[in-house]
Amino acid sequence: MLKTHNCGELRPAQAGEEVTLAGWVNRRRDHGGLVFLDLRDRSGLVQVVANPKTAPEAHATAQQVRSEYVVQVKGLVRSRPEGLENPDIPTGEIEVVAQELVVLNPAKTPPFYIYDDSPVDEAVRLRYRYLDLRRPRMQRNMMLRHRVVTAIRSFLDARGFIEIETPILFKTTPEGARDYLVPSRLHPGEFYALPQSPQQLKQLLMVAGYERYFQIARCFRDEDQRGDRQPEFTQLDLEMSFVEREDVMTLTEELMIHLVEDVADRTLLQNPFPRLTYQEAMSKYGTDRPDLRFGMTLIDVSDLVAGCGFRVFRDTVAGGGVVKGIRVPSCAAYSRRETDELIAMARGEGAGGLAWLSVGQDGAIRSSFAKFLADEDITALVGRMAGEAGDLLLFVADKASVTNRTLGALRLVLGERLGLRGGEALACCWVIDFPLFEWDEERQRWDPSHHQFTSPRVEDLPLLDTDPGAARGQQYDLVCNGAAPAGGSIRIHRRDVQEKIFDLIGLDRDVAQERFGHLLRAFEYGTPPHGGIAPGIDRLVMLLAGEPNIREVIAFPKTQQAADLMAGAPSPVEPEQLEELHIRIVEET
């Protein structure tokens, strides 16, 4: 080794020892006489001092080095003189007095500071990702990610899971996105599809009798890069045989608690995780990914306003819609402009409008609609909402789906504004009993809410023939701070049920046979009941690290346009390569 110790691990116990260190010059300070180098390696920083009197050559070299030079230092560890300790770094009580200093490799001036996390344009960070990865924030994130993955492996190993790799070059395994295709050179005109998840393969491993499988699996989905997505991402893919929904959820919950509390040293607001049905989540929070870090739940007031003097409320209830509200604390003094902004937001979600009522500090009511209401109706409404002095009450009257969506969105925006969505603690819950299908109006067909391999709840099986929209699936989503880092389900393990689902989602028998024949065939050879889940590692680490997006926890992420700015991918290829692949590029006109 070119070094005997790691920079960040030296302590007063090593004082008097001769050490050899190697690393990057984090910063250099030339104090006329002495030159100080902060030397950095993955373990941290240590101060090196070069004295022209005791080591003139090392001092001369130290004068020449610059930030990010790679150097090797031989020197003596000594306690820093009284009063010169640096309590901000773990090695702050000692320093290394250089005897020899060798430049292993010089460095150009980097395009941004490495030694701190001052903001840098993301495109520049991605272009020079190898430098960005040297910075403290990325080092912390990469190390946390490693610890998370290591902890996952040992947790599952201790519970009898085995890790099995599945192919990347495969056949379509759809999760609702477009496939990435790879042309075959040996089979002209034919393509592999990169797996959107190892879903079918893990189910086949259950048919194969492995009972408990997991994999840290790479998945590929060619989606429009809306929001915080990556074309390739990593998930902890796992599957278990002879289990019910409860078994998979319990195991996943134990793993999550371990990762949050023991590995990331964060706290959980709720333990055990609350369980909400899809219906409850939609009706109380307006979304199937409720952020449980704060309350502000949606409260139904339809019964109170069904006969009131405000026509919008009355007509909505009469027409089968609902009137619901949220109570926003400390916002009673909102100005006209601020309420108008909320109204515009509500319209943006598809609601016809937003009715508001504020309770002033002195109890005085201001409202967009109270003038139409009798005093006792106002009192009843404020009472139902548990409104107190200082509160702003917001109401939407519409179809249930629109009302929920609108108030759910306002709840998040206002929760953010009120600072209720920050903090160290994580709020996890399970959402269960999703509808098995969603109706696709445009294509006039049922779409699976999870994926087509999710089993209906056994008691809802007959509904597949009579009322598919009412059938619930054995799906479970793990929700954390308003994001869904994991989803899974108990699977269909019978060929007839699987074929029925293919029929309902409009997958032609021949197409189903062509795409999934291997799975249907396998189901005829003794398939155990099975189920699983797949927590997204990127999203999980992002939550644990408290980062705002998944690119911060991926070593080499792509941009929103699915490009790698560092290597320049995707890129054109040689004509011969295309020829070998039997591919001709058609220029768009």
Residues that bind ligand ASP (CB under 6 A): 175, 197, 199, 487-489, 532-534
Q: Which is nearer to ligand ASP, 231 or 487 (CB)?
A: 487
The residue among 326 and 534 lying less far from ligand ASP, judged by its C-beta, is 534
How many Å apart are CA 433 and CA 133, to the nearest integer?
42
Q: If you write DSSP's letter for every residue of 30-54 in order, what string do you get?
A: EETTEEEEEEEETTEEEEEEE-TTT
User: How many CB atoms sit inside 10 A of residue 144's CB?
Assistant: 19
Structure tokens, 340: 């108008």
Which of 408, 488 has the CB closer to ligand ASP? 488
Which residues contact residue 332 at a Cβ distance below 8 angstroms, ignoring those fewer than 6 apart?
Answer: 358, 359, 360, 361, 366, 389, 390, 391, 392
Q: At closest approach, how far in Å is the CB of 136 from ligand ASP?
A: 33
- The minimum distance between CB 290 and ligand ASP, in angstroms, equals 19
By the 8 A CB rule, do 324 and 395 touch? yes
Give the nearest distance from C-beta 416 to ligand ASP in angstroms.
27
* Nearer to ligand ASP (CB atom), residue 168 or residue 400: 168
* Closest CB to ligand ASP among residues 193, 412: 193
Q: Which amino acid is at 501?
A: I
Q: With respect to ligand ASP, which residue has the nearer C-beta, 26 or 199?
A: 199
The residue among 415 and 535 lying less far from ligand ASP, judged by its C-beta, is 535
Nearest Cα to 582, choosing from 190, 169, 70?
Answer: 190
8-state DSSP, 259:
I
Residue 2 exposure: Cα atoms within 13 Å on the Cβ side: 11
- Least spacing, CB of residue 532 vs ligand ASP, in Å: 4
What φ, ψ does residue 543 adopt, rounded to 5°? -65, -45
Q: Which residues contact 166 (CB under 8 A, 6 or more apart)?
A: 195, 198, 201, 202, 205, 215, 217
d(CA 67, CA 115): 9
Q: Could you tell me the smallest distance in angstroms from the CB atom of residue 410 to ligand ASP?
A: 29
Measured from the CB atom, the residue of 40 and 451 that comes closer to ligand ASP is 451
| Residue number with CB closer to ligand ASP (61 or 215) | 215
**CB closer to ligand ASP, 7 vs 201:** 201
What would the two tokens of residue 239 be? 């599957």
The beta strands (E) that lie in 132-189 are given as 162-163, 181-183
Tell the smallest beta-carbon distance from residue 366 to ligand ASP (Å). 47
Nearest to 430 by CA among 192, 193, 246, 211: 246
Check: CB of residue 485 under 8 Å from CB of residue 491.
no
The alpha-carbon radius of gyration of the chain (Å, integer) is 30
Rounded to the nearest 10 degrees, the angle between the axes of helix 199-207 and helix 509-522 is: 40
Alpha helices of 49-121 — where are they, by DSSP H? 56-64
Q: Answer whether 489's CB lies under 8 Å from 431's CB.
A: no
Where does residue 102 rank: exposed (0-12), middle (13-18), buried (19+ CB within 10 A)? middle
Would you say 473 and 245 are in contact if contact means Cβ atoms under 8 Å apart? no
CB nearer to ligand ASP: give 492 or 533. 533
Q: Which is nearer to ligand ASP, 412 or 533 (CB)?
A: 533
Q: Smallest distance from the beta carbon of 512 to ligand ASP, in angstroms?
A: 18
Identify whether the C-beta of residue 185 lies closer than 8 Å to the C-beta of residue 210. no
Least distance in Å: CB of 486 to ligand ASP? 8
Could you tell me the CA-to-CA distances from 35 to 10, 81, 137 in Å, in that order? 20, 16, 27
Min CB(490)–ligand ASP separation in Å? 10
Count of Cβ atoms closer than 10 Å to residue 522 Cβ: 19
Nearer to ligand ASP, 133 or 208 (CB): 208
Report the C-alpha gap between 206 and 519 in whole angstroms.
11
Q: Which is nearer to ligand ASP, 197 or 527 (CB)?
A: 197
Considering the complex, what minimum distance in angstroms separates the CB of residue 450 from ligand ASP?
A: 6
Question: Least distance (Å) from ligand ASP to the CB of residue 488?
Answer: 4
Q: How far is the CB of 451 from ligand ASP (least distance, A)?
A: 6
Segments in 65-103 forming alpha helices (H): none
The distance of closest approach from Cβ of residue 453 to ligand ASP in the complex, given in angstroms and rounded to an integer, is: 7
At position 520, the amino acid (one-letter code) is L
Instruction: Tell me how far, at minimum, the Cβ of 170 lies from ligand ASP, in Å.
Output: 14
Q: By three-state DSSP, how is residue 446 classified?
A: strand
Q: Which is nearer to ligand ASP, 415 or 487 (CB)?
A: 487
d(CA 586, CA 28): 55
- Alpha carbon distance 579, 402 (integer Å): 53
User: CB of 197: closest distance to ligand ASP in angstroms?
Assistant: 3
Q: Which two tokens stand for residue 28?
A: 């250099």
* Token code pair at residue 155: 């947790």
